[in-house]
């Protein structure tokens, strides 16, 4: 039986990075290295909090803070562990990476050191808002947190301040804010309808709303679900609400792309899972709708990825595609399906962060990112190439890498639910993904450079400080592939917290 | 009924006029003024509802600061830099007004004949709720329409503000007993988003030389 236990960790986990971000912005002006140190400290502090929560959550406790305002159950614990666990290596990578590309103002003066404190300030704030979204138990605050991640990351997307980055930043802020407004409308409708059954503040608590979701008038419930899917789905990169994603993920600095594609869209998927699944028990056809949406998303993302020449756009479209798997798994609504969806969410976060860092290392070495220009880098950058292929195989679901296990679980869940068409689409997209990533790896790391801008003599392997982070993430990809049991206790409990709702 | 229903309905209907003015005025300064006027109407509406919940006084104050003062001020500051004439829209004035009228009439019909479809609570079937919902939906769609059909980036930001106002109107009508923290969070986020968008648009103006969103076509699928 799960019991509630008040814990300060629930608030510390997002207050630490937020405070570090503020300090980084203030103190970094004096010396850049302080901003960098604080970024590492903030990310490490968040990871430490997440790790400290883990044993208590696995022991059946639900941690609460500020009354019932903050609530960490096993699903939240999974997400905060994932976010902070990916953020730490990404931050390690960001420090040398962000120093490398010199930024110039209009007079051609080097302004890198002046702009980096702001970068780390927003970066940590971005991290804090993602973590906050995963621990809040208030439906309105969930909207506020998701919108806050957009606000914090908007200027990170446009950080390079050139034409492409600005265009991506404008689209990012505009499309996501419009999209997420639908989620606010849904949250307001849900809250208002729940006030009839729940006293006062309780009508805002997601943990309480679960119990009354079935009592809400049917037509209102349909609007609530539809608006939540549009709102949080936009943020999660679910097709057809994904057009902001390839622009933003491609134009942001690579460490930011790794966070956007690795964990931010996962946090939105979490918001979706938290809110939409409470309606599953009363509205069974809803699961079918989510499966169809997932199938459409994965197929569209896979096909679009095939058409890309820009490596980062390719990875971004592949993220759209992989989010389709997460949606489909959760859509099956069975224990196995939800388990597969959450497991894939975990695997994809690690593998996609790894891939964006690997491409970042390529950009670091060559300043290029088009497959039609690159080639032959494998000889000069063996570590980067190896890391890229580990991430690529994990995404494509090749054994013994992590994606294989989670995709297999999703296929099995589909078969068990008798949804053969969905299984067919998922298997086909998996093959498509394999083609996409192998073609990309081959174009970049084999053969010879296709552009005169790259000369293999001058290309050097990324420095140790860059590849340490990549190797760490690659190791996790392999570990989760050969020994998936390591994630079982947490995933099992997280799955039960969703699937337990409807006992399937 | 504790609220002054007639006052609320009047204020809320006036929101439609200010929305159309904000979308249709080709002078960005005037559009910003129309928006500021609408923000004052929202403040009035919140105050009218505050009879039932004192937390709403705080919200009315926050709305006054963020919507009626800060947002128009930000917009005017950027307009001063980029020029007050809007990049011509894709859809002409006459057609646009026709679209707005059709929207209002259909939403009015919809909310008055089928109110139960969207009524979350038994009380919300009342007249005030219906009118506010019709107005909210119309302003929402007008905002969306402005974002989609206007080429001027600043005009799309005004469209976004209208969209947010519409949701806030439904918020105060549906859940007049909400707490301050949630309300302040919602209200401040909009103004920060608007500020960031204008900041990025100023960057675009500097690098690309225009605020015409049709010129932003470097990135496509």
Q: What is the dihedral of CA A193, A196, A202, A204, to 10 degrees?
A: 10
* Prediction ipTM score: 0.90
Contact B192 A151 (CB under 8 A): yes
For residues B113 and B63, the model is more confident at B63
If you write DSSP's letter for every residue of A364-428 in order, what string do you get? HHHS--BTTT---HHHH-HHHHHHHHHHHHHHHT-TTSHHHHHHHHHHHHHHHHT-HHHHHHHHH
Q: Which residue, A501, A502, A496, A503, is CA-closest to A78?
A: A496
Helix/strand/coil for A453: coil
Q: What pLDDT shows up at residue B54?
A: 76
pLDDT digits (tens, 9 = 90+) for B172-215: 887 777 777 777 888 888 899 999 999 999 888 888 887 787 77
- B102 lies in which domain range? 5-215
Spacing of C-alpha A187 from chain mean position: 22
Q: From the CA of B33, how many Å to the nearest CA of chain A?
A: 22
- Contact list in A for residue B170 (CB cut-off 8 A) is 185, 188
Q: Is the pLDDT confidence value at B104 over 80?
A: no
What residues does B27 pair with on adjacent strands? B85
- pLDDT of B132 higher than 60: yes
Whether B220 is in a domain gets the answer: no
A212 contacts chain B (CB < 8 A): no
Whether A260 has a pLDDT exceeding 90, the answer reads yes
Residues in chain A, overall count:
504
State how far residue A144 is from chain B, nearest Cα, in angstroms: 6
Residue A214 burial by CB count (10 A; 0-12/13-18/19+): exposed, middle or buried?
middle
**What gap in Å lies between CA A196 and CA A141, rounded to an integer?**
20
**Mutant choice from A67, A107, A188, A250 vs B, greatest count of B C-beta within 10 A:** A188
Tokens of A391: 């991430």
User: Do A140 and B170 count as a contact with CB atoms less than 8 A apart?
Assistant: no
3-class state of residue A27 by DSSP: helix
The answer to the question of residue B186 being in a domain is yes
Contact between A173 and B171 using a beta-carbon 8 Å cutoff: no
Please give, one letter per residue, the 3-state secondary structure of B141-163.
HHHHHHHHHCCEHHHHHHHHHHH
pLDDT value of position A478: 94
- Flag whether pLDDT at A257 surpasses 80: yes
Nearest-by-CA chain B residue for A303? B221
* Measured distance CA(B83)–CA(B180) in Å, rounded: 38
Which DSSP string do the residues of A334-345 spell out, in sequence order? Answer: SHHHHHHHHHHH
> B163, A151: Cβ pair inside 8 Å?
no
The verdict on residue B221 lying in a domain is no
The beta-carbon neighbor of B185 closest among A141, A192, A219 is A141
Q: Residue B46: its pLDDT value, please?
A: 86
Give per-residue pLDDT as tens, A323-350. 999 999 999 988 999 999 999 999 999 9
| Domain ranges (residues) in chain A | 1-134, 138-283, 301-504
pLDDT number for residue B160 = 93
Given a cut of 90, is residue A130 above it in pLDDT? Answer: yes
Q: Answer whether residue B70 is part of any domain.
A: yes
The 10 Å CB-count burial string (b at 16+, else e) for A373-411 is: bbbbbbebbebbbbbbbbbbbbbbbbeebbbbbbbbbbb
Inter-chain CB proximity A188 and B203 less than 8 Å: no
Site from B55, B203, B220 to mutate, A interface, most A CB atoms within 10 angstroms: B203
CB contact (8 A) between residue B170 and residue A154:
no
Predicted confidence at residue B1, as pLDDT, reads: 47
Whole-number percent of chain A with pLDDT over 90: 68
Q: Which chain B residues have a beta carbon less than 8 Å from that of A250?
A: 219
Burial A252-261 (b: 16+ CB within 10 A, else e): bbbbbbbbbb
Q: Considering only CA atoms, which of A416, A250, A242 is closest in space to residue A322?
A: A242
Environment class of B95 (CB within 10 Å of its CB; exposed 0-12, middle 13-18, buried 19+): exposed
The Cα A123–Cα A96 span in angstroms is 15
B209 touches chain A (CB under 8 A): no
Mean pLDDT along residues A371-383: 89
Most confident of A398-402, A475-479, B61-65: A475-479
Question: For A281-301, what is each residue's pLDDT tens digit?
Answer: 888 888 889 999 999 999 999
Lowest mean pLDDT among A24-33, A307-316, B97-106: B97-106
- b/e burial code for range A318-356 (CB count within 10 A of at least 16 → b): bbbbbbbbbbbbbbbbbbbbbbbbbbbbbbbbbbbbbbb
Residues of A in contact with B218 (CB under 8 A): 163-164, 167
Backbone angles phi, psi at A13, to 5 degrees: -60, -30
Distance from the Cα of B125 to chain A's closest Cα (Å) equals 12
pLDDT tens column, A92-125? 999 999 988 888 877 778 888 888 999 999 999 9
Q: Please tell me which residue, A410 or B211, carries the higher pLDDT value.
A: A410
CA distance B159 to A13: 36
What CA–CA distance (Å, rounded) separates A156 from A150? 10
A306 to chain B, any CB pair closer than 8 A? The answer is: no
Structure tokens at A51: 């790790």
- Interface check for A216 against chain B (CB to CB < 8 A): the answer is yes
Whether the CB of A138 is below 8 Å from some CB of chain B: the reply is yes
Confirm or reject contact between A78 and chain B (CB < 8 A).
no
Query: B172 vs chain A: nearest CA distance in angstroms?
Result: 9
Beta strands in A70-139 (DSSP E): 70-72
Query: Mean pLDDT for chain B?
Result: 82
For residue B158 the two structure tokens come to: 């005004």
Average pLDDT, chain A: 91
User: If you count residue pairs, one on A and one on B, with CB atoms under 8 Å apart, how many are there?
Assistant: 131
Tell me which chain A residues have a C-beta less than 8 angstroms from the C-beta of B62: none
Which residues of B fall within a CB distance of 8 Å from A162?
207
Write the DSSP symbol of residue B209: S
| CB < 8 Å to A219, chain B | 116-118
Asked if A173 lies within 8 A of B196 by C-beta distance, the reply is: yes
Record: contact A220-B120, CB cut-off 8 A:
yes
Bridge partners (DSSP) listed for residue B212: B152
A140 vs B: CB within 8 A: yes
**A394 vs A213: CA distance, rounded Å:** 37
With H, G, I as helix, E, B as strand and everything else as coil, classify residue B27: strand
Q: What is the mean pLDDT of residues A71-82?
A: 95
Among B156, B163, B174, whose Cβ lies nearest the Cβ of A192?
A: B174
Look at residue B90 and tell me if it is in a domain. Answer: yes
- If one counts the domains in chain B, the total is 1
pLDDT tens-place string over residues A416-433: 999 999 999 999 999 999
- Percent of chain B whose predicted confidence (pLDDT) is above 70: 88
Query: Residue A104 and residue A114: Cα distance in Å, rounded?
Result: 10
| pLDDT over 60 (residue B221) | no
Q: Is B1 exposed, middle or buried (0-12, 13-18, 19+ CB in 10 A)?
A: exposed
Nearest CA-CA partner of A153 in A305, A70, A268: A268
Confidence of residue B125 (pLDDT cuts 50, 70, 90): low
């Amino acid at each position: 039986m799960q019991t509630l236990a008040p814990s300060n960790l629930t608030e510390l986990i997002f207050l630490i990075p937020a405070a570090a971000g503020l300090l980084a912005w203030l103190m970094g002006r004096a010396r850049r290295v302080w901003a960098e140190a604080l970024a590492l400290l903030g990310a490490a502090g968040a990871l430490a909090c997440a790790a400290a929560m883990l044993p208590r959550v696995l022991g059946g406790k639900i941690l609460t803070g500020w009354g019932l305002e903050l609530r960490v159950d096993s699903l939240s614990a999974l997400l905060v562990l994932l976010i902070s666990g990916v953020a730490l290596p990404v931050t390690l990578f960001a420090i040398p990476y962000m120093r490398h590309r010199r930024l110039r103002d209009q007079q051609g003066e080097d302004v890198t050191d002046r702009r980096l404190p702001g970068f780390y300030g927003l970066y940590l704030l971005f991290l804090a808002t993602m973590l906050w979204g995963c621990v809040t138990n208030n439906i309105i605050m969930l909207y506020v947190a998701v919108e806050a991640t957009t606000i914090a990351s908007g200027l990170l997307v446009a950080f390079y301040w050139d034409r492409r980055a600005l265009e991506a930043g404008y689209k990012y802020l505009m499309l996501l804010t419009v999209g997420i407004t639908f989620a606010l409308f849904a949250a307001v409708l849900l809250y208002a309808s729940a006030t009839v059954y729940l006293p006062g503040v309780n009508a805002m608590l997601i943990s309480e709303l679960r119990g009354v979701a079935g009592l809400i008038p049917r037509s209102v419930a349909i609007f609530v679900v539809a608006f939540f899917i549009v709102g949080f789905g936009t943020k999660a990169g679910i097709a057809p609400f994904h057009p902001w994603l390839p622009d933003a993920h491609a134009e942001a600095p690579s460490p930011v792309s790794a966070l956007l594609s690795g964990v931010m869209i996962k946090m939105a998927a979490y918001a979706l899972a938290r809110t939409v699944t409470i309606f599953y028990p009363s509205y069974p056809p809803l699961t079918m709708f989510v499966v169809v949406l997932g199938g459409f998303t994965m197929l569209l993302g896979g096909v679009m990825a095939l058409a890309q020449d820009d490596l980062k756009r390719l990875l971004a479209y592949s993220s759209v595609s992989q989010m389709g798997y997460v949606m489909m798994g959760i859509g099956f609504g069975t224990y196995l399906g939800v388990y597969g969806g959450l497991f894939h969410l975990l695997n994809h976060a690690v593998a996609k962060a790894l891939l964006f860092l690997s491409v970042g290392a390529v950009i670091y070495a060559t300043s290029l990112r088009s497959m039609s220009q690159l080639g032959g880098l494998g000889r000069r950058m063996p570590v980067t190439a190896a890391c890229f292929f580990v991430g690529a195989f994990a995404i494509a679901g090749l054994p013994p890498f992590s994606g294989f296990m989670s995709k297999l679980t999703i296929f099995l869940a589909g078969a068990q639910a008798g949804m053969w068409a969905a299984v067919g689409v998922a298997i086909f997209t998996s093959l498509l993904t394999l083609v996409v990533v192998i073609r990309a790896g081959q174009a970049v790391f084999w053969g010879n450079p296709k552009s005169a801008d790259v000369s293999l003599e001058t290309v050097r392997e990324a420095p140790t400080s860059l590849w340490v982070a990549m190797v760490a993430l690659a190791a996790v990809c392999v570990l989760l592939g050969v020994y998936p049991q390591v994630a079982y206790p947490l995933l099992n409990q997280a799955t039960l917290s969703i699937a337990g709702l409807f006992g399937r | 009924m504790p609220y002054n229903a007639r006052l609320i309905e009047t204020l809320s209907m006036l929101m439609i006029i200010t929305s159309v003015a904000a979308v249709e005025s080709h002078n960005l300064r005037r559009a910003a003024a129309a928006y500021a006027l609408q923000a004052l109407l929202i403040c009035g509406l919140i105050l009218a509802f505050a009879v039932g919940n004192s937390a709403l006084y705080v919200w009315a104050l926050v709305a006054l600061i963020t919507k009626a003062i800060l947002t128009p001020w930000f917009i005017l500051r950027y307009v001063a830099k980029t020029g007050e004439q809007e990049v011509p829209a894709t859809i002409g004035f006459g057609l646009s007004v026709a679209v707005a009228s059709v929207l209002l009439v259909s939403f009015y019909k919809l909310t008055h004949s089928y109110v139960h479809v969207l009524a979350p609570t038994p009380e919300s079937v009342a007249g005030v709720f219906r009118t506010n919902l019709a107005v909210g939906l119309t302003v929402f769609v007008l905002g969306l329409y402005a974002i989609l059909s206007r080429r001027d980036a600043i005009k799309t930001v005004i469209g976004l503000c209208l969209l947010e106002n519409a949701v806030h109107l439904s918020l105060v009508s549906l859940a007049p007993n909400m707490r301050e923290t949630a309300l302040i969070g919602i209200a401040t986020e909009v103004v920060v988003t608007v500020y960031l968008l204008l900041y990025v648009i100023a960057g675009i103006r500097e690098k690309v030389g225009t605020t015409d969103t049709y010129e932003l076509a470097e990135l496509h699928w």
